[in-house]
Amino acid sequence: MAALLDPPLLRRLEALALRVRRAVRGQMGGERRSTARGRSVEFADFRSYSPGDDFRLIDWNAYARLDRFMLRLFVAEQELPLSIFVDLSGSMDWGRPNKAETAKRLAGAIAYVALAALDRVRLTVFAEGPISGGAPYRGRRAVANLFSRLQSFPVGGPTDYDRLVWPIGRQRPGMTVLISDGLGESSIDPAIAALGRARQEGAVLQLLAPQEIAPDWTGDARLRDAETGVEREFTSTPVTSAAYVAALARRTDEIERSAHRRGLRFARLSTDEPIDDMVLRTLRRLGLLS
Amino acid sequence: MSFLAPAAAALALTLPVIVALYFLRIRRPTRVVPALNLWPDEIRDRQANIPWQRLRFSWLLLLQLLAAAVLVAAAAQPALSAGAGLARHSVVLLDVSASMQARDVQPSRLDEAKREVGGLIDQLGPQDRMTLIAVGSVPRVVASVVGDREALHRAVNDIGAQNGPADLSAALALASGLVRPGDDARAYLFSDGIVGPIRTDSANSLPFPVEYHRVGVSGENVGMTSLVVRTGAQSRAAYLHTQNFGRQSRSFSVEWRADGRLVDVRKLTLAGGQAQDLVLPVPSDATLVSAHIDAGDIFALDDTVSAVASAPRAFRVLLVTPGNVFLQQALSLRTDLQLDVIAPSAYRSAAPYAMSIFDGYAPPALPDGPFILINPPAGSPLAGGTPIGIGRVRAVDAGDPLLTNVDLQDVHIARSQDLHASKFGRPLITSLQTPLVLVRDEPFRQVLFGFDLHESDLPLRIAFPILVQNLSEWILPPSVPSHSFHPDEPVTIVPEAGATSVTVVRPDGSRRSLAGGSVATFGDTDLTGLYTVEQVVAGKVDRSWFTVNLFSEQISQLKPAERLTLPPLSSTTAAHSAHRGQLEIWPWIALVALGVVVVEWLAFHRGL
């Protein structure tokens, strides 16, 4: 755990909470307003008494005035279901600092914020296919397990975003954070579309290394794809480098427009940005954390 | 067009090498990238997956082949035929005389001539040779039969202007000596045509043709050609001659200075070709006077002149005679002689005198120094034989400097001692009967007259004072001549008795030491201005002066000569096989190659 995130950062993360735009219904009690009615101090509504209702909820003052049994209803406080999908494909095992390592730390930080707020965290990593991170995690005591599980996942293989559609679609409404570089042979758009259909609120975080944002080499080279191993001879010139940068910008733009179309937040992050800044500044500015 | 280094064409082998390199596989480092599909998938010129492949068209390959081809062409040193016809041996005569300092062409005639000579050097072929002669008052060979163009350019650049005249005859004679008979030679004269008289007789015929390249366009110049200081009974005055050698009228002022102090300023306006003489005051204490005109013309060398105003040092001369008014008058014409006349009976010694003259008398012991002995009495050591009657009088050598302007045609002498047997020296004036006047240089300059002046009409002729003047100046030249000299004219300096060192300070402040105690000829008079002669006598520094001025109407008129009359070609001149000169163009081709390389570099970075 210590290797994934520093204790000082964890202490600062405890002051944060995931921020949802609308209330969602959880399975267990928590600290968030839910669409369900339950016991809390926050009044929600009145309704007529039906046999079988808990008569402790009858508003006797209303009965005195209206001569009818009325029940006082309160807002239920439940947990927030958070799903984190982390891309650990071959293209993520690249860059200085390494994108996969940074993705794990970022996922750990977001998960820690959720667990500290008694939210439920479901972890899924993916490359060629989704790999579940085990049963949902809940409570601070699950932090160590989650971090340990995160660090144990191998990195490599091609990315197949189409195979994320099914696990995303079977989720209950809640929050989902998708961390990926958005690169690969297949498009990430089906996965983002699935998030929209599953009424998921959340964010798509594109994580790139500084060396791929601005290539730092020129000249002759044999290029090898990190995921497929396909090779091609190439001569880097200012012109071809500019063409690559433009292609990457187009890919980023496609992902951002796809996310916004589904009501999801989007941020492009660089691995040379400290993890503290990513979480405490970028994600807060994005509205994902508060 | 021809190629000066055709062997460089072998470098064309680099072209197939470049093509071969395009065939060969390039070893590239492997780079892992996250997404290969983001990198442009263009077929590159050097993309190759097998060692040998079919050659694809490539702009880069084309440009590289073009650059290599152009470089090979430049290395072969192509040359175009130039306009001028060059001989195998080109003799360049470059006028460096004073008139070439005129600035009617910028920056000066000499620089323009040097530029033209540079162009001629550039046309030399690999087999051609050039001799470069600077034509000044004394011609100088700057480069002798040289084929190295860089060395020739350096030699031309090192040539500087001189202040003297140009002796073209001497330069042509020098050039003739450098050309072997039968050589394919041609001379190129770069000059304004203001050169000394040219001997055009057949005896000076040339073994090569001469092309005259005229330099200069204008003769608009105002200058001073004479400045003389005359001492009268009461005062001294200077006579200055100014002249407008151009066609346009000019107004200017003359600044007149004595020892650097401004004495007078005169405004003058001279029409084209007009001259004017000015009489200017000379202060009694002045040593040096100078005049400067601010005409702003194209020639500065004749705009400042100077003259020595102080009187020269006097020589003490002893005349021992029973009475000879002719001799006394003739000697007194020379102002720097202090004459003592005594009777023979009063003669004791000639020791304190610079020169002694014995007329009809010979001392028992002749002085150990310069003297003139006239008609020595019989029995004296230098006396001749029995007097004999004299017929026609004539000069032994009419060109002898001692007889300059001495006309002996109407001179008659009644009788003279027979000097046939005399061992005194060489005869100067003679007759059919006997030599009449003998002179000798050693041990001192001495003269022996064999006849009594009273028995001749020589003293009544104008030749007599001139002869006495010539002889006395030969025997006693002024220690430092106070008159003006022309540039490069040698100056004879006779040190004072007892002088331990003699130093000449030139106008630019440089000093030249002369050997003390003997007559010296000072030749470093190339600069115009005031020269100071410093002699140390008994621990004291004695200063005297002389000046060097241009004072040449021929040079000051400046107008370039349209054509020159040159000596004829000698009959042995080789058939001139002038070939076309060559103008090398490889630097321009190399520049094109550089441009192609730059385009190739740009093309590479633009991804062509």
How far, in Å, CA of A36 to CA of A78, rounded?
8
User: Which of B32, B37, B607 has its CB closest to that of A224?
Assistant: B32
| pLDDT-derived band at B382, boundaries 50, 70, 90 | confident
List strand residue ranges (DSSP E) for A109-199, in order.
120-126, 130-132, 137-138, 174-180
Interface residue ranges in chain A relative to chain B, Cβ cutoff 8 Å: 91-92, 94-95, 99, 181, 183-185, 209, 212, 217, 220-228, 230-235, 237-240, 243-244, 247-248, 251
B306 — pLDDT class (breaks 50, 70, 90): very high
Structure confidence at residue B46 (pLDDT): 47
Q: Is the per-residue pLDDT at B307 higher than 80? A: yes
Q: At what angle do helices B325-332 and B463-475 cross, to 10 degrees?
A: 60
Is a pLDDT exceeding 70 seen at residue A236?
A: yes
B49 interaction partners in chain A (CB closer than 8 Å): 233
Tokens standing for B3? Answer: 């190629």
Cβ contact A183–B39 (<8 Å): no
Q: Do A146 and A123 meet the contact criterion of CB atoms below 8 Å apart?
A: yes
CA distance A258 to chain B (A): 19
CA B133 from chain centre, in angstroms, equals: 12
Predicted confidence (pLDDT) per residue in B72-97, tens digit: 888 887 777 655 567 888 899 999 99
Is B26 an 8 Å CB contact of chain A? yes
CA distance A30 to chain B (A): 41
Q: Tokens in use for A203? A: 């964010």
State the residue for tokens 């959340």.
A202
In chain B, % of residues over pLDDT 90? 31
- Output the pTM of the full model: 0.49
ipTM: 0.80
The per-residue pLDDT for B47 is: 47
pLDDT at A248 over 80: yes
The partner residue sitting opposite A244, judged by closest CB among B29, B30, B38, is: B38
Out of B28, B605, B607, the one facing A222 most closely (by C-beta) is B28
Res B338: pLDDT? 86
The values of phi and psi at residue B30, to 5°, are -85, 130
B46 in contact with A, Cβ within 8 Å? yes
| Closest C-alpha among B498, B533, B528 to residue B514 | B533
Taking CA–CA distances from B601, the nearest residue in chain A reads A237
Residue of A nearest to B48 (CA): A233
Residue A60 binned pLDDT confidence (cut-offs 50, 70, 90): confident
Quick check: B34 and A212 CB within 8 A?
yes
Top pLDDT among A91 and A41 is at: A91
Give the integer Cα–Cα distance in Å for A115 and A31. Answer: 11
Overall average pLDDT of the B189-214 stretch: 82
Residue B177 host element (H or E): helix B168-178
Candidates B21, B30, B39, B47: best to mutate against A (most CBs of A within 10 A) is: B39
Average predicted confidence (pLDDT) for chain B: 85
